[in-house]
Amino acid sequence: MWLYLLALVGLWNLLRLFRERKVVSHLQDKYVFITGCDSGFGNLLARQLDRRGMRVLAACLTEKGAEQLRSKTSDRLETVIPDVTKTESIVAATQWVKERFLSSFPLASPTRATCSPCF
């Protein structure tokens, strides 16, 4: 009796896991923008997503960090070094991302990005 109940609970959990599993198809067509890619979590995530075939746009703090990341990844990963304290740098980084995105998807309609200083 207990064995049947245990098997039923195990089967229910397996079915629930299978149903709730979310899979993203066509990873090679997806882009992701990650900040903080010099080290730590951002660096690890950028490398893992690159290995899985995604196109990674990585924002690094230093040129050294960007170079180290590029040396460990494929050509699908591109780096940018924005200065988050300057509005012009953020606008330039936004434009950089739009250029990369629109060059791959010419039919995509860009959203209007507004950047205003926070006072």
List for the chain the helix, strand, coil content (%; round to 5). Answer: 50, 10, 35
Give the chain's mean pLDDT. 82
pTM above 0.75, yes or no: no
Place of tokens 């997806």: 30
pLDDT in tens, 12-53: 989 888 877 777 778 788 888 899 999 899 999 999 999 999
CATH of region 27-104, choose from 2.40.100.20, 3.30.360.10, 3.40.50.720, 3.30.43.10: 3.40.50.720
Domain ranges of the chain: 27-104
| Averaged pLDDT for residues 51-71 | 93
pLDDT at 60: 93
pLDDT at 1: 80
Residue 102 structure tokens = 């629109």
Q: Are 68 and 46 in contact (CB under 8 A)?
A: no
What DSSP state is assigned to residue 110?
Answer: P
Higher pLDDT, 68 or 112: 68
| Averaged pLDDT for residues 101-109 | 59
Q: What is the dihedral of CA 45, 51, 53, 54, to 10 degrees?
A: 20
